[in-house]
Amino acid sequence: MTEHVLDELDAYALGALDRAEAERVAQHLSTCASCRNEAAALAEVVGALPDTVPLREPRPALRDRLLEAAKADVRSPVRGAAARRWSVGAVRPWRLAVAAVAAVVIVLGAADIDAYRRL
């Protein structure tokens, strides 16, 4: 296997690839020192993520807005071309996981910055 797997390494480090993709990446890493080094660096970053941002409760208003937005998404039907596009699996599970981790980091980082400004 000569094609590098750099695009998949972030999701691999997060454990967000499906089984087949993870096996393909692991197989490549066993033969490619360059990708293996990058994967090790990403794994170190992922391991440190929980320690980088203090845990804080979101403000009640933010929680309410997020819940309302989620409810609105569930209530609005997807029709036409958009429905077909989603039905073919356009969003991979690892992309959702990466987006969720990024959202958590952004929210917690914003809360930390807000607290720092109040000092």
Contacts of 78 (CB under 8 A, 6+ apart): 86
pLDDT at 57 over 70: yes
Token pair for residue 53?
Answer: 């941002």
Kindly list the domain boundaries of the chain, sorted by start residue: 6-118
Range with the poorest average pLDDT among 12-16, 56-60, 90-94 = 90-94
Give the pLDDT band of residue 1 (cuts 50, 70, 90): very low
* Angle 78-8-102 from CA coordinates, rounded to 5°: 60
pLDDT digits (tens, 9 = 90+) for 17-52: 999 999 999 999 999 999 999 999 999 888 888 778
Percent of the chain beyond pLDDT 70?
74
Residue 14 has pLDDT above 70, yes or no: yes
In 1-119 the beta strands, taken as DSSP E runs, fall at none
